[in-house]
Structure 1
Amino acid sequence: MKVLVLGSSGMIGTAVSAELIVRGHEVIAGVRSNSTSEHPRSVVVDVRDEATLVRAAVETDAIMSCIGGAGRGDHDVVVDAVAPLLTAAKQTRSGRLLVVGGAGSLFDGPKQRLDASDFDPGSRPSALAQKAALEALRERGDAVDWVYLSPSDVIGPGPATGAVVLGEDTLLRGRDGESFVTTGDFAVAFVDELEHPRHHRERFTVRTLR
């Protein structure tokens, strides 16, 4: 497949792009400027601008959005991008939109993770923005085959272990209470969903077993 990957230079986007390439897919890296891409095929895209996204999406098979914005303090970009992404996804061959989300809106007991007393205050703006993005997809995405993948409570660099568990709207924890996923395992779950769709207009999550 030819896949438009947005946020391809970030920690998750890099892992996703690598997994796609290993499996023989063609990655078109959507970047903010030509100077930020190491991919042989890239296109400058403003994810808030519908026209540039549509042009980038035409003749691709799907969009995989790995944008975050937290590193630049631009938390709302994930919300602002929803409408343009939904429009652009309609121009792809499959009509699929796969979105990297956050873990803060996963339920951990009766509360969402972001409302827990031990949730990192510094991560709250990003978590709230990711929650709003998921809500926007649910409200506006009826005409698009979208999916939103939340990581575990912690995601960190690491290879694909092949030992994972998938869930839906609840934070996945081990017996010791740990909730962690490697970037490799996350990327595998994300690309598996591209190749063999199991989730439609919904969120799912993944945890590394260790």
Structure 2
Amino acid sequence: MTDPPAKTPDRRPGGRTARIRAQVLDAVRAELAEGGHEGLTMEGVAARAGVHRTTVYRRWRDVGGLLVDVIAAAGETDWQPPDTGSLLGDLTALNQEIQQSLTAQPSFAVALMAASFHSEQAARAQTKLWADRYAQCEILVDRAVERGELPSRHTDARSLLIAATAPLYHQLVLLRADPDPRLPERSAAAALLAAGAGAFTVRPHESG
């Protein structure tokens, strides 16, 4: 299923517009977490938000527009990567955050991932959000290099981060396994061992 392009605000709204946006996006999160993409409707969001449906249609146009704005709002949060003083600690803390978001009941994170398979708009927005988050987390690797925890300054940070976090998504989303409190640290440690062995080291001419 594809969606027509939806317009999103070029700047953050203020005053009453900001309040309406917050109410509507909170309603989208709740509706999506409870009923999934299949249960997400403009009318349901408007009713939950206490906003007239014409307001929702005028601003967001369709469900795809609502999903894009919810994802955009996630990117606006003042989130910072962990800084525990070690790469193992940082990756473990990051994985703990991911595990918590994936195992919350109901899990908005899982519902949003599922919704992205039904909306090209949401898929594009979510890909950008994840890419931005991984780029933001590259500082974890930079700090580890400065502390001498990694073998060289030619470590591919993105590959290391993906290796450290991927087991969480595999176990909890793909296999739907029960959460394992040891998994965040175990996945981080495995990625760190691989990094120490040079698994994510690239030659200077390859990194460009």
Give 1 or 2: higher helix fraction.
2
Give 1 or 2: higher strand fraction.
1
Point out the structure with max Rg over C-alpha: 2
Tell me the TM-score normalised to structure 1 length. 0.28
Ranked by relative contact order (alpha carbons within 8 Å, sequence separation 6 or more), the top structure is 2
